[in-house]
C-alpha cells in the first residue's frame, strides 16, 4: 500500500494488522481521486472508519489542508499515527479513537464542514450508510459541491438522493463498489 500521487507520492503505508480491515486497492483509490479531484486546493476531509488512514493521507498528499481520522480499533489508531508520521503529516491531521456516531456528534458541535468525506464501514453494516448519509445531509457536514465517497460491496446499492446529497456515480471493481455523492449538485 502506498501514496499514489501528490506531495507524498510513493511513500509506503502500513496496513492494520489482522483481518478486520480491507485497505482500498491502488486501482480503486486512483479511480476515486480522478472522480472527486484529483487534487484539492485546501479544505478539510473526514476519513470515517479510517483503518490505516490511506484515503485521508492520499487526500492530504493531494492538497487537503487538514483531515480528521476516526476509527474505534486501537490497532487502526496506531497504524494511522504511524502512517502520518512516516509521511510527515501529523501537523495536518486529527486522529480520534471513537465510535462513528459519537465522532459525528462532536463534529456537528464543532461546526466543521468538509470538502470530502470517505465512508468505508464494514460492508455488512448497510444501516450505517443510511444513518451517516442522513446526518451529513441534515447537519450540512459537506461544503456545497463537496464529495462523499462510499466504498461498499458491489451487490449493495445506495439511494440516488439523500436530501441535498445526489449520487453522481457508482463504479464497480469486482466485489467492491464506489458510490460518490455531491452536496447540492444534481444527478446526471
pLDDT tens readout for residues 132-160? 999 999 999 999 999 999 999 888 889 99
In a domain, 74, yes or no: yes
In a domain, 140, yes or no: yes
Cell numbers for 55, please give them. 484515503
In a domain, 171, yes or no: yes
pLDDT at residue 20 greater than cutoff 70: no
Structural domain span for residue 102: 28-183
Q: 146: domain CATH number?
A: 3.40.50.150
For the chain, give the mean pLDDT.
Answer: 92
In a domain, 21, yes or no: no
In a domain, 1, yes or no: no
Confidence of residue 25 (pLDDT cuts 50, 70, 90): confident
CA gap 142, 114 in Å, rounded: 5
Mean pLDDT of 45-72: 97
| 8 A C-beta contact, residue 123 and residue 152 | yes
Supply the pLDDT for residue 14: 95
Q: Domains in the chain: how many in total?
A: 1
In a domain, 188, yes or no: no
pLDDT at residue 80 greater than cutoff 60: yes
In a domain, 165, yes or no: yes
Amino acid at each position: 500500500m502506498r501514496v499514489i500521487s501528490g506531495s507524498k507520492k510513493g511513500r509506503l503505508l502500513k496496513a492494520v494488522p489482522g483481518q478486520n480491515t480491507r485497505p482500498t486497492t491502488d486501482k480503486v483509490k486512483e479511480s476515486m481521486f480522478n472522480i472527486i479531484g484529483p487534487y484539492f486546493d485546501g479544505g478539510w476531509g473526514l476519513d470515517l472508519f479510517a483503518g490505516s488512514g490511506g484515503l485521508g493521507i492520499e487526500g492530504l498528499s493531494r492538497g487537503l489542508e487538514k483531515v480528521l481520522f476516526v476509527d474505534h480499533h486501537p490497532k487502526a489508531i496506531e497504524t494511522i499515527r504511524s502512517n502520518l508520521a512516516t509521511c510527515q503529516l501529523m501537523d495536518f491531521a486529527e486522529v480520534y479513537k471513537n465510535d462513528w456516531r459519537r465522532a459525528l456528534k462532536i463534529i456537528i458541535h464543532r461546526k466543521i464542514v468538509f470538502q470530502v468525506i470517505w465512508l468505508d464501514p464494514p460492508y455488512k453494516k448497510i444501516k450505517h450508510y443510511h444513518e451517516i448519509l442522513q446526518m451529513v445531509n441534515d447537519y450540512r457536514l459537506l461544503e456545497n459541491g463537496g464529495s462523499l465517497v462510499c466504498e461498499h460491496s458491489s451487490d449493495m446499492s445506495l439511494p440516488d438522493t439523500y436530501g441535498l446529497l445526489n449520487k453522481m456515480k457508482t463504479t464497480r471493481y469486482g466485489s467492491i463498489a464506489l458510490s460518490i455523492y455531491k452536496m447540492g449538485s444534481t444527478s446526471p
